[in-house]
Structure 1
Amino acid sequence: MIVQLRICVPGELSEVTLKACRDQVGTAGVALISSASVVPPGDVIDVQIARESVEELLEKLEVLKIGDVGSVAMTTPEFVLSRDADRAEHAAPGDGADAMIWDDVTGQTGEDSRLTWNFLAFLVLATQLAGIGIVTDSPIAIVGAMAVGPEFGPLAALAVSLATRQWKLGRRAAIALGVGFPVAMLLAALTAWLSIPLGLFPRDALDKGSAVEFIYHPGPYSLIVAILAGFAGMLSIIGRRSAALIGVFISVTTVPAAGYVAVALVLGEFPKAAGSALQLLLNLVGIVAAAVAVLLFYRVVAKRRPAAAARNLRQQRGGTRN
């Protein structure tokens, strides 16, 4: 897989940046457009590089502090026809599907971790669907609630925060979860409370819901499924596999458990509310713990940039400035 980097650099850093790009194993092509960047002023360097080599090149650019004085943008072309690209992918160590680009993962999870009206709306809608599925004993509605729920984004961001110690990202994700779930559960409880006098469902609705008993009966497999979902979810983010991520959404009972807590409390089914609350907690903890484990594994096994290369780049940068 070939990735394209668009680097905007001040003119005095063009030479050392070009050298870092040309010398990087896995580089398929480099183009320089002098004085093309207006804001910030400088040159534009386009690089085509194998995905598995991107992280190492980004580390070199970080040493040069390109992000402070310029910018780096990454895109993935849908189609690249080039023998040089084929040779670059062959020369690059590892496989593109297994490549970990930390800035990319942080950016993806950061976008999904904010407490926005969009996030809150989807979580409320998902919890309402779950409540309907619970009182009507409808597995289809429960699965729909799982698919609509947006909670994996903040959970993944929380995992990235713990693995990389980016506490600001973690606080943002915790706020999204800490505010989103209570609001969604409160509105689901209000809906259930208003539905009873309207005759939309009987007070003993939870006694007849055999198809949704798994929600308030947590067990060993509840944690196992959550851990597996955490593994799969983080791997799908790393590999940008959206189809796999959808499968993660409909494999865990976070939103259904939250909806069950709300409905059970309204109907006075406190033991079932406690069971579903435990189910929710097990899912949240299991997903985050597994996602952190995946990130730490990638950090341990990934090839790190040699310290000598960093020193050389610093020396080159110093020489260029002089």
Structure 2
Amino acid sequence: MALRLMQVVVPADEKDKLHSLIRGESRIESWDQTIDEKRYKLSILLAVDDSEHLITKLEHHFSNTGTFRIVLYPVEATIPRPDAPDLERERGTAKENAKKEGKGRISREELYHDLVDSTRLSWVFIILMLSSTIVAATGLLRNSEAIIIGSMVIAPLLGPNVALSLATTLADFHLAKNALKVTFAGIGISLLFAISLGILLEIDPSAPQIATRTEPNLGDIGLSLASGIAGALAFTTGVASALVGVMVAVALLPPLVVLGMLIGAGYWDAATGALFLLFINIICINLSGVLTFVVQGIKPASWDKEGQARNTSRAAISVWIFLLLILIFALYYSHLNFDFL
């Protein structure tokens, strides 16, 4: 059972209200401390999937107070171990617990802070994109799957794509703008560098690792949809994101590098297939990411933004599906290889 330590700071004269609000809420243990004459702190040890409901509740009541703050820490271990049966009985005492948001995942705030850093364009991001492009190009030219997989581990493509899905789900246009900026910057950096490699190096479009990225099929759609789901779940459930990042990179980085090298070498027909594959993967990853967040019940903290977030999510899902159908029909009628596998 994943645990969190939540520290809540409120005005000292609001401590009775704080204790009244958390009464009946699921928690393992709590400790209080008077910081000074103006501030009171309550530390709460609780299960990770109980944190979002409590954060939302406390923020609603105390957000306008000057000293209010919530700090959330991941807990590696606690001794003595929490008694799971007793905790489950305590959860059953609160009527709303069966309908709580956040069950089976981390809180919305924790998820947001995990992703916001990935939407900052930095020199580290640029170097990682260049490095992953070099490694991917080497693997493609040498027909080495092991080297290509290594490039996927390096590529920092997971965070910005998941952040875009989260921004869509929350109708957070500032986060969406930053996520799009970093995503397009990463694609542009890799594409331009791959084009330069295509100009300088001898490219064989019939090489197996290159040819497979120029012939999209329905299996690629399934792969990219699974990648988007895995990417979203990696952040919401604590799955090792480095491993899941490989799934997202396998859908984005190799076709992107193939596209650039083929353009640089002047193989325009083959490059068209790689471009279709790249578009399919981008659409499917974001479509499945938004769907995953919606199914998990991720929504804005304030009630007045929930309607806007629902409309934004529905519009985004409709647009992604429409674009995907257009690409599928375009592939079918362009006489490209569009078999199931």
Q: Same fold (TM over 0.5)?
A: yes
CA contact (8 A) 1:124 1:183 kept: yes
Aligned AA (2:189):
V
How far is the alpha carbon of 1:90 from its aligned partner?
A: 5.0
Q: Deviations over 1:270-322 (max 9, x none)?
A: 1121111111111111111101001111118x9x999xxxxxxxxxxxxxxxx
Residue 74 of structure 1 aligns to a residue in which SS?
A: strand
Equivalent of 2:156 in 150, 160, 163: 150
Q: TM-score under structure 1 normalisation?
A: 0.82
Percent identity over the alignment is 17
Q: Quote the Cα distance in structure 2 between the aligned partners of 1:169 and 1:15.
A: 36
CA shift at 1:13, angstroms?
A: 2.4
The corresponding residue for 1:312 is none
Name the structure 2 match of 1:61.
Answer: 58
How far apart, in 2, do the equivalents of 1:275 and 1:67 lie?
A: 55
Residue in structure 1 matching 2:240, options 242, 263, 268: 242
Alignment of 1:165 onto 2:168: no
Query: Of the two structures, which has the highest relative contact order with CA contacts closer than 8 Å and spacing of 6 or more?
Result: 1
Q: 1:186 to 1:85 in 2, by over 3 A?
A: same
- Kindly state the Cα deviation for residue 188 of structure 1 after the two structures are TM-superposed: 2.6
CA RMSD of aligned residues (A): 2.7
Alignment partners' CA distance in 1, 2:302 and 2:265 = 59
Corresponding residue of 1:213: 211
* Contact 2:197/2:264, CA 8 A, preserved across alignment: no
What amino acid does structure 2 have at the position aligned with 1:131?
A
Once residues 84 and 141 of structure 1 are traced to their aligned partners in structure 2, the CA distance between those partners, rounded to angstroms, is 45
Query: In the alignment, residue 117 of structure 1 is paired with which amino acid?
Result: W
Secondary structure of the 1:159 match is helix
State the one-letter code of the partner of 2:16. E
Give CA-to-partner distance per residue, 1:192-223, whole Å, 9 cap, x none.
Answer: 434x3xxxxxx35233x113422121111111
Q: Residue 138 of structure 1 aligns with which residue?
A: 144
Give the SS at the match of 1:157: helix
8 Å contact from structure 2 (residues 128, 154) kept in 1? yes
Could you tell me which runs of 5 or more consecutive residues in structure 2 were left unpaired when the two chains were aligned: 92-96, 304-341
Distance 1:205 1:156, change over 3 A: same
* Counterpart in the other structure of 2:281: 283
- Report the Cα offset of residue 98 of structure 1: 1.4
Any conservation in 1 of the 2:227–2:251 contact (CA below 8 Å)? no
Query: 2:289, 2:76 → 1: CA distance?
Result: 28
- Please, what TM-score do these two structures have when normalized by structure 2? 0.77
Alignment map for 1:6-25 (pairs within 5 Å): 6-24=7-25
Paired residue secondary structure (2:215): coil
Kindly state the Cα deviation for residue 99 of structure 1 after the two structures are TM-superposed: 3.0
| TM-superposed deviation, 1:84 | 5.8
Q: Is the 8 A contact 1:6 1:45 kept in 2?
A: yes
Which amino acid letter does the alignment assign opposite residue 156 of structure 1? V
Q: How far apart, CA to CA, are the structure 2 residues paired with 1:151 and 1:305?
A: 30
Q: 1:119 aligns with which of 119, 125, 133?
A: 125
How far apart are residue 4 of structure 1 and its match? 0.7
Report the equivalent of 1:43.
Answer: 40
Describe the SS at the equivalent of 1:76.
strand
Unaligned runs of 5+ in 1: 197-202, 307-322
- How far did residue 191 of structure 1 move? 3.6
- 1:123–1:97 Cα change, 3 Å: farther
* Residues 136 and 205, structure 1, Cα contact 8 Å, conserved in 2: no
- The answer on 1:88 being equivalent to 2:56 is no
Structure 1 residues 30, 211: closer, same or farther in 2, change over 3 A? same
Distance, in Å, in 1 between the alignment partners of 2:63 and 2:82 is 26
Q: What is the match of residue 98 of structure 1?
A: 104
1:34 matches 2:40: no
Q: CA deviation at 1:267?
A: 0.9
Q: What is the distance in 1 between the residues matched to 2:170 and 2:117?
A: 17
Question: What SS is found at the alignment partner of 2:78?
Answer: coil
Tell me, in whole angstroms, the C-alpha distance in 2 between the residues paired with 1:136 and 1:83: 52
Q: Matches of 1:47 and 1:216 in 2, distance apart?
A: 54
* 1:185-204 alignment, distance < 5 Å: 185-194=191-200, 196=201, 203-204=202-203
The answer as to whether partners of 1:149 and 1:255 remain within 8 angstroms in 2 is yes
Q: Is the 8 A contact 1:9 1:42 kept in 2?
A: yes
Distance 1:236 1:12 in 2: 41
Q: How many residues align?
A: 291
Retained in 1: the 8 A contact 2:10–2:65? no
Give how far 1:151 is off: 0.9
Distance in 2 (alpha carbons) for counterparts of 1:263 and 1:118: 24
Deviates more, 1:141-150 or 1:162-171: 141-150
Alpha carbons of 1:91 and 1:23: their partners in 2 closer, same or farther (altered >3 Å)?
Answer: closer
